[in-house]
Chain A
Amino acid sequence: GENVEQHPSTLSVQEGDSAVIKCTYSDSASNYFPWYKQELGKGPQLIIDIRSNVGEKKDQRIAVTLNKTAKHFSLHITETQPEDSAVYFCAASMGSGGGADGLTFGKGTHLIIQP
């Protein structure tokens, strides 16, 4: 089955700086790669996603890049703010139909924004 590796497990950056979280996946059939943000006591919140026919996607301060050849994708957050502090999860699925294929998640990155 699919395996998703996520690095780093903890990332501390100064407010205003950029943060980058990287993930690799094992199954070349995977074609959907969402990112989730989870705050303490809450469920994961979908913040951005990318499909395999796209190499990069941006949404304000957040961007995701995908390299299908190397089987890795990354989350980039620019101009970090205190409210960006949370645990971030990457995920992969085949999205092949037959329903919402189960997402395979990375282990998460605890992002700490230092004031």
Chain B
Amino acid sequence: KAGVTQTPRYLIKTRGQQVTLSCSPISGHRSVSWYQQTPGQGLQFLFEYFSETQRNKGNFPGRFSGRQFSNSRSEMNVSTLELGDSALYLCASSSATRLPYEQYFGPGTRLTVT
């Protein structure tokens, strides 16, 4: 079974721009969560989508948003980029069929804001 895939793997953007990252979960998994990883703050939960609905949200500003499509693929968008948004953005998928839900991570998208 193929794992979680994320595209692109690397991205360089300029302050003020916006960016969209993509995640394809493990086949059959209906839940997708997004995390931000930085050296200073570590791994932080952004939000989780299930059946195209955001079910859970972390403590990030509204510039961070996401969506999920009917095939469970998910996108994350960051608007008005700031230097502090430079990070590794990780997507995790879960089958969401048995509590608690095990989460499996993709390789991440490395975003650099200049």
- Measuring CB to CB, which residues of chain A are less than 8 angstroms from any residue of chain B? 1, 31-32, 34, 36, 41-46, 49, 51, 89, 91, 93, 95-108
Could you jot down 18 A-B contacts, CB within 8 Å? A1-B59, A44-B90, A45-B105, A46-B103, A91-B43, A95-B101, A99-B50, A99-B55, A100-B31, A100-B33, A100-B50, A100-B56, A100-B103, A102-B47, A102-B48, A103-B103, A105-B44, A106-B42
A100 to B56: give the CA distance in the assembly, Å: 8
Size category of the B interface is: 20 to 34
Q: Is chain B's interface secondary structure helix, strand, loop, or mixed overall? A: strand
Decide if B100 touches A32 in the complex (CB within 8 Å): yes
Asked if A43 contacts B108 (CB within 8 A), the reply is yes
- The 8 Å CB contact of A44, one of B43, B99, B101, is B43
Interface contacts (Cβ under 8 Å), in number, total 75
As a 0/1 sequence over residues 70 to 101 of chain B, the CB contacts with chain A under 8 angstroms (1 = contact) are: 00000000000000000000101010100111
